[in-house]
Amino acid sequence: MGVVNRAQAKRMRSGGPDLISRLPDEILGSIISLLPTEQGARTQILSSRWRPLWRSAPLNLEPYGLASGINEDVAPPHILHGDPATLDRWLRSPVLNDLQELRLYFPPFALPMRTIPQSAMRFSSTLSIAHFSCCQFAVDAAHRLHFPNLQLLSLLSVSISDDCLHAVLASCLALDKFQLVYSYYISPKPLMPPSTLRFSSTLRVARFGHCQFPDAAALKVHFPNLQYLELRMVTVSERSLHAMLSSCPALNNLILTANFGFRKFMINSLKLKRVEMCFGRSDTEIELEELIVVNAPCLEILDQRGPYVANMHISIVSAPKLKILARLNDNTSRLELGTTVFEGRHAVRVATTMRSVKVLALKLHNLSLHMTINFMKCFPCLEKLYIKTRISTENVELHNSLDRNECLDFHLKKLRIRHYSGKRSHLAFARFFVLNASVLESLVLIVDPEMEESDSWIEKQRRKLQLEKRASIGCEIKFSSVGDSSYHSDIQDLSEPFE
């Protein structure tokens, strides 16, 4: 039997050696940044190894759970909102010298809007990441700022004058990511300052929200290195939108959410890989009516949702690498896929095949097997098909053709139908795939929670689906009321670029 010395015995009593403290500073700093503020502050008591890490870890100054002093007990949750002096004292602590990341969030409905403390500005020369939300910049302070190392700047619901913003941005010599989203409660939408759109040649990631883009500024914009652009609730003219996109030669990710001011949107980009578009309805603003993919040799994902107006026209002329196409719907007046043409639910001509498409999402107000099969002819290598329909659909257009279908015979592996009711029309639609999809691996029918809990209803549906005659012996049929119904699970989601 070996001899155990005093140090070894102490480690054994405490649960073994402190392996976590042996990790590199970068990993330990990341651990601290993931903890709530008060718990992150307490890591200093673990050992002398952890004490200097707090200085470089992200500082999250939220109105709840903030410590009143670095080496003091944790303060009440309201300390930031109700005691500016404590916040100022905390920010002036020598322990925070050389701070690299600062997140300063104030309550969104607090009036008057809080001014960013002067003590927070003392870090401008060392910060690499800065988030400010629901606060305002003092004009005299902004003109004295200098951010030589700032790589990420996020301004959410911030009150800042055009001159002040220009001064801040002019001092950012290495800015890589910039986010400017005005408050959604401001009406009308503020104009985007011209300096915002042409201040930096280093920018790779940008997000703008709830504002108007003036034509004069948008037409002069130039972002030679921009790779990710997101516009949220932005009003921009067709001319300005296309001019801005043409000035981004390196752009590969474009996100458009609830934007207005243009009726036609043309995708003509040599490097775009992903385009996500989500549009709402408006009684006062100009809405999108025509989407044309003119030339997109690298485009892999095209996800367009809404506004689903009856006169919507979609045309994909050239996108040879397109893998994921969502969400086509039967309310579109005209859909052109190469030389294949759909008018409403009816295929006028099925001529072009797009063999690169592997994932297709459809929104069918009227479940149509005939239309669905025509899509599979257009996309013969389709592997995953997502369909969202109406619960109340009574009539379904069936398909009587016995022609062989490459997609059904060799490729379709996954089918999801959302709002499956079990009624005759829905049953006939699902049963067609059970009996004809030769390599189908998974069929998920998304149903009402009450139906999922009824064993007798599910058993009856299984009998009517004729599972004993399924074309693919290994196919798993699942009834579910939650999850597993969205095509987003098969799209590799982009990580939040401002985190």
| pLDDT, average across residues 38-65 | 61
Is the confidence at residue 411, as pLDDT, over 70? yes
Nearest to 116 by CA among 82, 159, 73, 55: 159
What whole-number percentage of the chain has pLDDT above 70?
A: 80
What does pLDDT average to over the chain?
83
Confidence at residue 493, expressed as pLDDT on a 0 to 100 scale: 62
Q: What is the pLDDT of residues 479-488, one digit of tens each?
A: 998 765 566 7
Question: What is the pTM assigned to this prediction?
Answer: 0.83
Residue 79 pLDDT = 44
For the cut 80, the answer to whether the pLDDT of residue 397 exceeds it is: no
Sign of the alpha-carbon dihedral angle for 275, 280, 286, 292? positive
Q: Which letter does DSSP use for residue 136 in this model?
A: B
φ/ψ of 243, rounded to 5, equals -65, -40
Each residue of 2-29: pLDDT tens digit? 444 445 444 544 555 666 777 777 777 7
Q: What is the DSSP letter of 16?
A: S
Neighbour tally for 11: CB within 10 Å: 13
pLDDT digits (tens, 9 = 90+) for 121-174: 888 889 999 999 988 887 777 677 788 999 999 999 988 888 888 888 888 889
CB 484 within 8 A of CB 449: no
**Which tens digit of pLDDT belongs to each residue from 218-274?**
777 889 999 999 999 999 999 999 999 999 999 999 999 999 999 999 999 999 999
Using pLDDT thresholds of 50, 70 and 90, give the confidence band for residue 62.
low
| Bridge partners, 274 (sequence order) | 253, 301
- The pLDDT tens digits for 412-471 are 999 999 999 999 889 999 999 999 999 999 999 999 999 988 999 999 999 999 999 999
| Token code pair at residue 268 | 């003509």
Residues in CB range of 20: below 8 A, 6 or more apart: 28
- 391-401 burial code (b ≥16 CB/10 A, e <16): eebeebbebee
